[in-house]
Amino acid sequence: MLASANNGIENNKLDDTTTTNQEWKLFYNDHIFNKLYLVFAGPFPASPTSSFGHIFVLLEPKKERPFLLWDAIDFSANITNIGTFEYLAKGLLGSLEGQYKEISFYEKLREYTLKESRSLWLFPIQLDKEESKNFLFRFFNLSNKICPYRFTNSNCASQIYNLIKLSIDESFKQENQLVFPHTIINGLKNRISDPIFIESIDNLLKENAKKITLNTCGSENKLLEYNNVNDAILLNKLEWEYSQDRDHLTAEEKINLQKLRKKVSLSNGNGYNNFKSYPKEFNIHPTTLAGSGLQISKREGIEYLLMYRFGIHEYFENCNVYPANDYLSLLKLELGIKKKEIKINQLMLFSQTSLQPTSYLSNYLSWKLGFGIQKKYEFRDRQLASGVFTGLGYTVSLFEDEITFSFLINAEPIYLQKSGFSFLSGPEIITLWNISDRIKWMNCFKGTMKNIYNPEIYYYLENNLGFEIYKKMMLLLSYKHSEYDNLYDIKLNFYIN
Amino acid sequence: MKKTSVFLALFVLLSLSLFLTSCATIATGTKQLVTINCNVDGATVSLDGVNVGKTPFTGEIKKNGKVLTIEKEGYKTYTIALSSSLEGLFWGNIITGGTLGSITDFTSGAAYKYAPASYQVELMAKGTSLNNFKQIYELKKYAMINMSNISIDLSKNNGSYLEALIYLTKMDMNKKTIEIIRKKLVESDGDQVHFGNLIVKLLVI
């Protein structure tokens, strides 16, 4: 029977009365660990609600054990007998039940790197003997209790973060706000070391498929040499494919898998590595960006700009930052100041864009969704549009994702300041080019049809060049062109921790 | 914070309207083809109290079932609450073996998914020690779920998946053991259930 833990994790201090508990002693001896890893699973491209990533903890046991069998500690919602909409509603309101549980690392690895195509980042966290004991004791007390689960502030990230922080410092005030990946990295910066990166299976397959193609080109001997490797790749590819949204395998598919397993086990293919981990730098933007700048318009003169953004990041921000293809803002504000008059150029209360490239393996949709107010530059009379901004399409990439092209069809039911309710639709092509680790170029071409009956057609072109001056400062140069006007922006943005 | 929740709610609901179309093709029909294997053949499979067949079971089962029961004389009756999956919206994703929707407490047995819509149920014989049951369960589950990766590691004669399997069998990691594992995999003809059954026989308890 599960007990209720109304007070979350705050009442679980290690004291003399509890340390004599036999059950705890057994648990402690079984779980005593050398090192703790904070594991960060990247965004799940197929699920908009997973763009924040997922967090769990991995324990490297004191007693040597293969890492696939290490214990992972996870906090997730219990959705037994709950429908999807009920889950979403309860999750937002905080009436879901969440629970800590222990699971073998190979299962988490399979879940994330295979089924959901997510790469993992393992951050070692330094804890001394007493802190490690505190951590285990808190987990021991929570492992069979129910805690409230809320998507925003009582989720995997906040619970795991609070658990680690309280193990280090019992007086830590629990984080009750929205916990972003950056919050955790920053909050544990004195304890955290450089991460180890584990590639997702589809990334491994992509890499190896290229290698095989190159090596087998024009040489029969090479083809024979790599044939065994091909079988291993094919086996891994089928496993990946079947772990995606498949409700069952046909008899033929099952037999093919069985034959392939047997064939691979008897082969001498030593060229395919089905697991890859290596140290990799992890860059993430602070949640807040503030900036100022100038906008020079051919028709309307100079306007001073003030910007504020709260969230993960935007696609014009510098490259090589986690998450690579997902962009999220919970609040975006841009004010234009001209002759003592202050106007809103943009007030987005939510905006998310996912531009995951498709490949021969994965075929994720690209999409964008935002709510708020935006100044529209494509019309002859510049005006504010308020409403919902959506787009759906695909992204393709070149040169190992250094350049991506996104093709979206936009649909925007909005209220225009001067024309009233309108429906805007049309294609948008976004090109993102990571010129270097510090320079990013973004080009956007948009064709807009205003209203379906008596349609008016407009086009709009935007170019942005972002320079990372240093880690917390970015210079953004923009050129915006429409039938009506040409605009030049220069903005200096600062990241605030 | 309340504002954020409201906007997130709107966002999620709107996003779903975009993404449900892809799920709908999967969720058509009210039944789902499933395979339920068990460590004991001939165990009765019941869904919401209605007998649907015996193990090994392959057949169509209604998607909105709530409770699955597997029973056989001499074994503890195993019952699992089924949940609808967030991603799938169909019955096939239910017994996830320890992730969302199920907690394995080993009081009467355990179950896990080893392939799409294919589940392995381990019934606990009355009088079996919990420790032995857990060791067999962990080894068989690992072997069945990771069989393809074990095959790939066998082709290299090393690798993390093979190493973990050998650790669970409590044998030493050497050429002889690797050959024994390879032999079992070949003997199983690449079939996960058969491989799992052969591997547990290697366990040194």
Domain boundaries, chain A: 3-198, 201-275, 288-496
B52 within some domain: yes
A286-318 pLDDT, tens per residue? 889 999 999 999 888 899 999 999 988 887 787
Chain-chain contact of A269 with B156 (C-beta, under 8 angstroms): yes
Closest chain B residue to the Cα of A50, Cα to Cα:
B12
The verdict on A77 touching B (C-beta cutoff 8 Å) is: yes
For an interface test with A, give the residue of B15, B137, B152 to mutate (most A CBs within 10 A). Answer: B152
Of the candidates A81, A88, A232, which has its C-beta nearest B66's C-beta?
Answer: A81
Q: Coil, helix or strand for B202?
A: coil
Give the per-residue pLDDT at A270.
60
B153 within some domain: yes
For an interface test with A, give the residue of B19, B62, B86, B138 to mutate (most A CBs within 10 A). Answer: B86
In the numeric block, the tokens 């034959």 are attached to: A259
B18 within some domain: no
Residues of B in contact with A89 (CB under 8 A): 9
Give the per-residue pLDDT at B42.
94
B7 within some domain: no
The verdict on B11 touching A (C-beta cutoff 8 Å) is: yes
- Select from B99, B123, B147 the last residue of a domain: B123
The verdict on A26 touching B (C-beta cutoff 8 Å) is: no
- Estimate to the nearest angstrom the gap between the alpha carbon of A99 and the chain centroid: 23
Residues B69 and B150 in one domain: no
Number of folded domains in chain B? 2
Cα end-to-end span (Å), chain A: 43
Tell me how crowded residue A316 is: count the other CB atoms within 10 A of its CB: 20
Chain-chain contact of A92 with B12 (C-beta, under 8 angstroms): yes
B137 within some domain: yes
Print pLDDT tens along chain B (205 aa): 344 444 444 444 444 333 332 222 233 456 778 888 999 999 999 988 899 999 999 888 877 777 888 999 999 998 877 654 333 222 323 333 333 333 445 667 788 888 888 889 999 888 888 888 999 999 999 999 999 999 999 999 999 999 999 999 999 999 999 999 999 999 999 999 999 999 999 987 6
Tokens for B11, please give them.
């966002």
Residues B38 and B77 in one domain: yes
Residues B177 and B100 in one domain: no
Res. A82: pLDDT tops 70: no
For an interface test with B, give the residue of A63, A115, A228, A248 to mutate (most B CBs within 10 A). Answer: A248
Q: Please give the residue that has the higher pLDDT: either A191 or A158.
A: A191
Chain-chain contact of B154 with A265 (C-beta, under 8 angstroms): yes
A84-116 pLDDT, tens per residue? 677 677 777 777 777 888 889 999 999 889 888
The verdict on A222 touching B (C-beta cutoff 8 Å) is: no
Residues of A in contact with B82 (CB under 8 A): 80-81
Residues B87 and B112 in one domain: yes
Chain-chain contact of A48 with B32 (C-beta, under 8 angstroms): no
Residues B37 and B101 in one domain: yes
Tell me how crowded residue A388 is: count the other CB atoms within 10 A of its CB: 16
B23 within some domain: no
Residues B190 and B151 in one domain: yes
Gap from A312 CA to chain B (nearest CA, Å): 14
The verdict on B18 touching A (C-beta cutoff 8 Å) is: yes
Residues B35 and B113 in one domain: yes
Residues of A in contact with B153 (CB under 8 A): 274
H or E element: which one contains B6? helix B2-26
Closest chain B residue to the Cα of A77, Cα to Cα:
B100
| ipTM of the predicted assembly exceeds 0.85 | no
Residues B114 and B161 in one domain: no
* Rounded (10°) CA dihedral B18, B21, B22, B27: 140
Q: What is the pTM of this model?
A: 0.82
Residues B99 and B77 in one domain: yes
Give the per-residue pLDDT at A298.
82
Residue numbers of the domain that contains B194: 130-200
Give the per-residue pLDDT at A128.
94
Closest chain A residue to the Cα of B148, Cα to Cα:
A261
DSSP A137-200: HHHHHHTTEEEEEBTTTBSHHHHHHHHHHHHH-TTPPPP-S---HHHHHHHTTTTB---EEE--
Residues B115 and B37 in one domain: yes
Gap from A260 CA to chain B (nearest CA, Å): 8
- Select from B123, B147, B175 the last residue of a domain: B123
The verdict on A107 touching B (C-beta cutoff 8 Å) is: yes
Of the candidates B16, B146, B182, which has its C-beta nearest A265's C-beta?
Answer: B182
Question: Pairing relation of β-strands B118-123 and B31-38?
Answer: parallel
Give the per-residue pLDDT at A219.
41
Res. A198: pLDDT tops 90: yes
Q: Please give the residue that has the higher pLDDT: either B30 or A30.
A: A30
The verdict on B81 touching A (C-beta cutoff 8 Å) is: yes
Q: Please give the residue that has the higher pLDDT: either A152 or A281.
A: A281
B159 vs A37, A120, A285, B151, B153, CA distance in Å? 22, 19, 36, 10, 5
Residues of A in contact with B97 (CB under 8 A): 107
Question: With contact defined as beta carbons under 8 Å apart, do A290 and A15 qualify?
Answer: no
Residues B36 and B117 in one domain: yes
- Select from B123, B141, B171 the last residue of a domain: B123
Chain-chain contact of B8 with A152 (C-beta, under 8 angstroms): yes
Q: Which CATH number fits domain A288-496: 2.40.160.40, 3.40.800.20, 3.40.50.170, 3.40.50.1950?
A: 2.40.160.40
Tokens for A418, please give them.
């001067």
- Residue (of A469, A488, A487, A485) closest to A477 by Cα position: A488
The verdict on B27 touching A (C-beta cutoff 8 Å) is: no
B107 within some domain: yes
- Residue (of A45, A112, A42) closest to A72 by Cα position: A112
Give the per-residue pLDDT at A175.
66
B4 within some domain: no
Distance from C-alpha of B82 to C-alpha of B91, rounded to nearest angstrom: 8
Question: With contact defined as beta carbons under 8 Å apart, do A314 and A331 qualify?
Answer: no
Distance from C-alpha of B190 to C-alpha of B186, rounded to nearest angstrom: 6
- Residue (of A371, A414, A380, A410) closest to A392 by Cα position: A410
